[in-house]
Amino acid sequence: MGAEKLRTVLAADKSQPTQATGLGRRAAAQYSWAPEGNSILLIGAKSLSLLDLKTQQARVLLSGKDAIVDVKFSPDGRNVSYVSQHNIHVITLSDGKTRAITSGGSEEIRKGELDWVYPEELDLKTAYWWSPDSTKIAFLEMDERKVSKYPLLDFASYEGEADEERYPVAGGANPIVKVYAFELASGKSKLLDTGAETNQYIPRVDWLPDSKHIAIQRLNRAQEQLDVLLADAGNGKSSVLLTEKDASWINVTDDLRFLKDGKRFLWSSERTGYRHLYLYDLGGKEIAQLTKGAKQGLAKSA
């Protein structure tokens, strides 16, 4: 596909500086493949276009004045979601209609949008997750009202303007984080039980294959205890599936994997001093330690 065709699909992002040479002096857009591989979603700073690879035809899904981030296809490829103005939005591809599935989002209370701490310190890359069957979305609500603000100089500003960034200093307040499950059919959200303590982290959220339950990892502020909660997306109730403790530190990983049989999951732990894989059932019972020895896995961090 030629550059001329691509230029007609997605308008240039005038909010970003253009490069001096190459690509027609236009910054390359981000893109995402549709799950079935028959189309590509071209992602601009404020716009979305869907390009059909067979017909070479494109249609504009979104072209607005507000910035968009964290764009995703639903697993079935029938919807596209994104975050804008601190709320989650969903576009139904069959009719092109857009709706906000959260409301009341703001700089202080973010719906499906990450703060500074979670991606920087916990390596979390998103704050919302589609269920495998594409009928629900789990998301984080981050209440930042008690987190301190600090001015940051905008070096691109000729007037020396400053932006504000919320940054929790050591011992200061972190955002209070809640987990919700939104059902597209009913349009209702259910708050999931993560316990009474609010001075904690929710570093990982994973759907189970049945699209009815959600695994929520809960980490205490000192990062010495990690609980994996099994929550019911329908009624919000949860129970502790397993607990990891360490007198010094627990490293958060992306190693949790639920098997297709819906009865077992893989978990990695440094409880022996080295990271190894374990097999559990959904009752939280360890079935087997799958790897062993001091030469396998990664040594525990200091």
CA distance 84 to 91: 13
* pLDDT(96) > 70: yes
Residue 18 lies in a domain: yes
The answer to whether the beta carbons of residues 117 and 175 sit under 8 Å apart is: yes
CATH of the domain at 38: 2.120.10.30
Contacts 24+ apart (CB under 8 A), 86-89: 86/110, 86/111, 86/113, 87/111, 87/112, 88/112, 88/128, 88/137, 88/139, 88/182
Residue 271 lies in a domain: no
- Could you tell me the residue range of the domain that residue 26 belongs to? 1-100
Residue 8 lies in a domain: yes
Instruction: Write down the pLDDT at residue 212.
Output: 98
* Phi, psi torsion values for 71, nearest 5 degrees: -85, 135
Residue of 199, 204, 217 whose CA lies nearest to 127: 204
Residue 250 lies in a domain: no
Q: What would the pLDDT profile of 239-271 be if each residue is shown by its tens digit?
A: 999 999 999 999 999 999 999 999 999 999 999
Residue 26 lies in a domain: yes
Mean predicted confidence (pLDDT) in 172-179: 96
- Domains contained in the chain, number: 1
Structure tokens at 90: 């969903």
Residue 285 lies in a domain: no
Residue 212 lies in a domain: no
CA distance 150 to 214: 35
Residue 43 lies in a domain: yes
Task: Round the average pLDDT of the chain to a whole number and report it.
Answer: 91
Split at pLDDT 50, 70, 90, the class of 23 is: very low
Reported pTM: 0.90
Instruction: Write down the pLDDT at residue 11.
Output: 56
Instruction: Write down the pLDDT at residue 160.
Output: 85
- What one-letter code names the amino acid at 16? Q
